[in-house]
Amino acid sequence: MVLNIKEWLKNKVSEERYHHLLGSETAAIELAERFGINPDRAALAALVHDCAKSIPEEELIKIINENNIDVSEMEIKSRKPLHSPVSSFMAKKELGINDQEILDAIRYHTIGRVNMTLLEKIVFLADKIEINTRNKEFRTKVYKILEETNNIDQALLICFDYTLRSLLDRKLIIDPETINVWNNLIDNLNK
């Protein structure tokens, strides 16, 4: 494993992305402590979740093809989420992270998946609400829901609502898995 992950990241991502990763790390620690899981694992996953974000799309596709990384047809078509599986791959290959739940939290931080683990939910949410680069108004709205309900699924629902509306407004491809996650969250919250 790379001894200094933060130094490694500085050589992989832009300065703005690096600040986003530090903010995500902090948010993940706070969320992990709130929901009673290991904050070190959450911090690690959040810190490296976007390590492939600065790689150009064509290079991401090359890495995916050369290493037989499992991605859906919709991920290839939309391209925006391709950094997620490559970030998970790099975390394992270059950083020596072998904890599958951490790798999955990195892998699914963009489109999500049905029945995400608590760690996956925390990293997904931390990515959207970190303080360094994310919208303050949105972050405040999510934290308000967390304070009122202490229900991470309610907070995730806000994130998916925002994401789906944004994709619709921009007439972009919506991965069916994201819709499945939305439906699953609604179903679980209505039980």
Residue 150: per-residue pLDDT: 96
Q: Are 163 and 178 in contact (CB under 8 A)?
A: yes
Q: What is the C-alpha separation between 138 and 12, in angstroms, rounded?
A: 28
**Those residues with Cβ within 8 angstroms of residue 190's Cβ, 6 or more apart along the chain or in another chain:** none
Question: Taking 90 as the threshold, does the pLDDT of residue 3 lie above it?
Answer: no
For the domain 5-189, what is the CATH code? 1.10.3210.10
In this model, does residue 2 exceed pLDDT 60?
Answer: no
Nearest Cα residue to 48 out of 81, 4, 79 = 4
Residue type present at position 18: Y
Three-class SS string for 49-114? CCCCCCCCHHHHHHHHHHCCCCCCHHHHHHCHHHHHHHHHHHHHHCCCCCCHHHHHHHHCCCCCCC
| Location of structure tokens 């020596």 | 96
Q: Which pTM does this prediction carry?
A: 0.95
Residue type (1 letter), 63? I
Q: Are the CB atoms for 124 and 134 separated by under 8 Å?
A: no
Q: What is the pLDDT of residue 190?
A: 93
Report pLDDT digits (tens) over 58-91. Answer: 999 999 999 999 999 999 998 889 999 999 999 9
